[in-house]
Amino acid sequence: MNARLGALVFSFFEDYLRAQKGLRPSSLRSYRDALRLFLGFVAAERRRQITGLALADLTMERVLLFLRHLEEDRGNCVRSRNQRLAALRTFFRYLASRVPEMLGEAERVAQIPTKRTPPAETHFLERDEVEALFAALPDAGRRSLRDRALLLFLYNTGARVQEAAELTRRNLDLGAQPRVHLHGKGDKWRLCPLWRETAALLTRLLDEEPGAAAAPHDPVFCSAPGRALTRFGIYKVVRRHAAHLTSSGADPRPRPVSPHVLRHTTAVHLLEAGVEVNVIRAWLGHVSLDTTNRYAEVNIRAKEAALRACEPPLPASSSEGFPRKAVWRDDENLLRWLDSL
């Protein structure tokens, strides 16, 4: 990679993605992986070291070859292919803003279509399954309190796993009106209320640490050595305690319950409780309302309730059928008022 391309790649990550867009570390890693795979593919296709690549080697044709390589050689699904394409579109747009000669290639890359893919299935737990999950949690053990507080926190807030992993003491307000400040995608903060039970468990969890050693920036959910639980550590905790839950029907295989399934569960249960969809959007930290509206699609009970509400009254006997004449036509007062208009 020549000096000019290397400087642009560095500036793309440090100046544009990190400083200007304020992307989180997980998003930065996604861009990093996409660009690493693409540059490595171009270097192999050009039969040169990656340090020998130039801007002229980055073309729309090679992007197309790379996308085909992802699906055919690496076995990536369409969703992963589309994610890599989105990252490359952003990278080429940035190149065009810094190097006008790259504008043509950036426009051609922007025209590469995204492949259609069915939306990912939304899994969530029913209320009785949530009750079974917490009823089965151990009451004794070194990490029993932490695990119970973590699972209840995830269900209470619908927090993303990264938001829970980065939670610190200063983000919690466990006073008269307990709440938590969550640091979400796009470097955005949101405020989420906490149940009394959640606040009580978190208070007990924080009190386990010696007061003199506690600091505002200390993590809330810690591993055995005292370091913050990672995303993968939280996944392990959730899946270990939810392993006994099985899917309904004839399939007895354990349901793969993850922290994101708990996030979906929070959204669906809020919707069932009658919470307005815009409130749920703010609760979960969704940028677009379209993301929140997906939960209305999976809530079959809400559909059934709507169907019952719209169901016409049954006639006294099946032979009567539905009335052929509108009821308002027999209301003499209403007809006289209409005639007076």
Cα 83 to Cα 30: distance, rounded to the nearest angstrom:
9
Q: Judge whether 244 counts as a catalytic residue.
A: no
Q: Judge whether 295 counts as a catalytic residue.
A: yes
Q: How many residues does the chain have?
A: 341
Q: Judge whether 260 counts as a catalytic residue.
A: yes
Per annotation, catalytic residue among 146, 263, 264, 269: 263
Q: Are 259 and 154 in contact (CB under 8 A)?
A: yes
**SS3 category, 192:** strand
Distances (CA, A) of 90 to 97, 115, 277: 11, 17, 31
Which of the 8 DSSP states describes residue 189? E
Q: Are 187 and 23 in contact (CB under 8 A)?
A: yes
The separation between CA 269 and the C-alpha centre of its own chain, rounded to angstroms, equals 16
* Surface-to-core class of residue 338, CB atoms within 10 Å of its CB (0-12 exposed, 13-18 middle, 19+ buried): exposed
Q: Judge whether 185 counts as a catalytic residue.
A: yes
Where are the alpha helices (H) located in 213-325, listed in sequence order? 231-241, 259-272, 277-284, 289-298, 300-310
Per annotation, catalytic residue among 24, 160, 264, 281: 160
Q: Judge whether 264 counts as a catalytic residue.
A: no
Burial 215-237 (b: 16+ CB within 10 A, else e): eeeebbbbeeeeebbeeebbbeb
Q: Judge whether 18 counts as a catalytic residue.
A: no
Cα 228 to Cα 74: distance, rounded to the nearest angstrom:
33
Burial 8-21 (b: 16+ CB within 10 A, else e): bbeebbeebbbeee
Per annotation, catalytic residue among 18, 108, 169, 185: 185
Catalytic (active-site) positions: 160, 185, 260, 263, 286, 295
